[in-house]
Amino acid sequence: MNNVDLEKYFKPDLNQARKRSKKTVEELKFQLDDAHEKVGLGKTYKIDTYGCQGNEADSETMAGILELMGFAKTEEEHQADVIIINTCAIRENAENRIWGELGRLKAYKRQNPNLILGLAGCMAQEENVVERVLKKYQHVDIVFGTHNIHKLPEYIETAMFNKERVIEVFSREGEIIENLPKVRQHHFKAWVNIMFGCDEFCTYCIVPYTRGKERSRSKDEVIAEVKELVKQGYQEVTLLGQNVNAYGKDIKTDDYTFGDLLRDLNETGIERIRFTTSHPHDLDLKTMEAMRDCKHVMPFFHLPVQSGSNPVLKKMNRHYTKESYLKTLNELKETVPGISVTTDIIVGFPGETEEDFMETMDLVEKAQFEGAFTFVFSKREGTPAATFEDSTPEEEKKQRLYMLNDKINAGYLKGNERFVGETVKVLVDGVSKYDDTVLAGYSEHNKLVNFKGDKSLIGKIVSVKITLAKTWFLMGEAL
Ligand code: SAH
Ligand code: SF4
Ligand code: F3S
């Protein structure tokens, strides 16, 4: 497709995306235009998803919209009439994988010129990405961001029938769109968005720019969605937000916050409630007490700490110290006995010294995490930390990562060992990756459990007696 008039495109602008106003968030309802109902009849789509659970959930919405338009799902690339790549911008290596994939699809599009190729998600919200697509990736037909998934029918129609390239990315705070159709990945566990965006502006992070302002869905919408899932036979929901502990704080008409939501959802009849992710400085006693009192809220908490060094935490704009984090953590462990806690850690943040790193190691020791996602700092253009002085060689950062991972892995094992001899309840996901006579699923504490059993147990909650603990999983026998 040849388009020389670059001005007609709606391109992202990170400066614009940074702005936050006091305007109230608009709530809109999605409805498919009659004209778009049959666009996809006899055609197929494929969506490739990268990044976090937020993106997984968005892909389910895209699938829902495409199926309303008549498209059918395919996993076979060579059969697809529409391919959408839902991208992640969190670290450079995540982006590099996607550029590689786009490069590969260039040759593919030459063989199949009728294919509509779409680029969506967080990378699409970045100026430099869209510029590069415009210059070097002419085979991408549609670029749209995280704020306009509901406009997908229009974009597909334009690309398919007018043979025009569509580039529309909004760098704004965002609305809340309700009534979006979804085709869910699983039949017994579901993602449920409770809020969108992020206002934390951790200095290393691109998310507040790619996802807009923090905005909570109304409790009625969330509760209704969970009740509907119960009716459909779902066993587990995972509540999603970049900072679920801030839920409701943007709605000024009442003081209904995350703890209240947990209590209300506990009454819906859903068997298991999980959530991700939390910010330590918004985690309050009300939430901890709700977890203690609500039997359907799982005893598991992912509480990203990022660093154990106070100067680094300050430069990251995290609003807590090593000491206050540990205090919150202890309060959580006292309130919810036996809870399993995991975290996220970044090593090699600009200016992180050996001494700072040792503070992180010390915190990991004290916190007794039962797992962590660990990362080397990745420079994100447009964020404050991208301009911070960074003189630590990459090799040294990697050494720190290896050292940290050894400690984290010991925590994984210790966290698993405490269940040997115990009976745990496992929601069976499917067969094991390594052995298809073995079932795999997660316990209430979010431990991966493998045991022999019949495939008919998939989607059910089974009592399993744990016989062996390894670093990454538990083995057991169904009772
Ligand atoms: N909202 C979530 C995190 C989303 S991003 C939260 O605050 O917990 C997931 C993780 O990616 C972060 O916790 C952080 O550890 C890591 N991360 C984010 N930006 C990064 C960057 N620029 N370099 C390396 N890791 C990063
Ligand atoms: Fe990024 Fe911080 Fe927001 Fe998490 S809380 S998404 S790390 S800015
Ligand atoms: Fe990636 Fe965007 Fe999620 S940057 S981690 S897909 S919010």
Question: Which of 125, 201, 205, 215 most suits a substitution to test ligand 2, by most atoms within 8 Å of the C-beta?
Answer: 205
Cα(205) to ligand 1 centroid in Å equals: 6
Domain co-membership, 293 together with 356: no
Domain co-membership, 206 together with 145: no
Evaluate: CB of 9 within 6 angstroms of ligand 2. Answer: no
Whole-number pLDDT of residue 2: 44
Domain co-membership, 433 together with 288: no
The boundaries of the domain holding residue 218 are 186-298
For the chain, the domain total comes to 4
Domain co-membership, 371 together with 454: no
Evaluate: CB of 148 within 6 angstroms of ligand 2. Answer: no
Return the ligand 2 atom nearest residue 243 CA: 5
Whole-number pLDDT of residue 41: 96
pTM of the predicted model as reported, rounded to 2 decimal places? 0.96
**Confidence band, pLDDT 50/70/90 cuts, at residue 435:** confident
Average pLDDT over residues 180-209: 97
Query: For 280-334, what is each residue's pLDDT tens digit?
Result: 999 999 999 999 999 999 999 999 999 999 999 999 999 999 999 999 999 999 9
Nearest to 357 by CA among 376, 329, 383, 379: 376
Cα(318) to ligand 2 centroid in Å equals: 9
Domain co-membership, 347 together with 379: yes
Task: Please tell me the distance from the alpha carbon of residue 369 to that of residue 302, in angstroms, as a whole number.
Answer: 10
Domain co-membership, 314 together with 449: no
Q: What is the CATH number of the domain that holds 465?
A: 2.40.50.140
Evaluate: CB of 202 within 6 angstroms of ligand 2. Answer: yes
Task: Let me know if residue 181 belongs to a domain.
Answer: no
Query: For 324-360, what is each residue's pLDDT tens digit?
Result: 999 999 999 999 999 999 999 999 999 999 999 999 9
User: Interhelix angle for 322-335 vs 354-367, to 10°?
Assistant: 10
Evaluate: CB of 200 within 6 angstroms of ligand 2. Answer: yes
Task: Please tell me the distance from the alpha carbon of residue 208 to that of residue 218, in angstroms, as a whole number.
Answer: 21
Number of neighbours of residue 252 by Cβ within 10 angstroms:
9
Q: Return the bridge partners of 433, or none.
A: none
Q: What is the CATH number of the domain that holds 94?
A: 3.40.50.12160
Whole-number pLDDT of residue 3: 45
> Given 241, 265, 298, which residue is the final one in a domain?
298
Helix (H, G, I), strand (E, B) or coil at 48: strand
Domain co-membership, 72 together with 196: no
Return the ligand 3 atom nearest residue 87 CA: 6
> Given 373, 396, 418, which residue is the final one in a domain?
418
Cα(39) to ligand 1 centroid in Å equals: 39
> Given 298, 318, 335, which residue is the final one in a domain?
298
Element (H, E) at 272: strand 272-276
* Identity of residue 35: A
Instruction: Say which ligand is closest to the CA of 92.
Output: 1
Cα(216) to ligand 1 centroid in Å equals: 21
Question: Which of 50, 52, 90 most suits a substitution to test ligand 1, by most atoms within 8 Å of the C-beta?
Answer: 90
Task: Let me know if residue 175 belongs to a domain.
Answer: no
Least confident of 14-23, 92-101, 216-225, 374-383: 14-23
Evaluate: CB of 122 within 6 angstroms of ligand 3. Answer: yes
Domain co-membership, 413 together with 446: no
Is the pLDDT at 448 greater than 50, yes or no? yes
Instruction: Say which ligand is closest to the CA of 388.
Output: 1
Return the ligand 2 atom nearest residue 306 CA: 7
Cα(200) to ligand 2 centroid in Å equals: 6
Is the pLDDT at 129 greater than 60, yes or no? yes
Q: Return the bridge partners of 25, or none.
A: none
Task: Let me know if residue 192 belongs to a domain.
Answer: yes
Pairing of strands 215-216, 272-276: unpaired
Domain co-membership, 365 together with 345: yes
Nearest CA to ligand 1 atom 24: 377
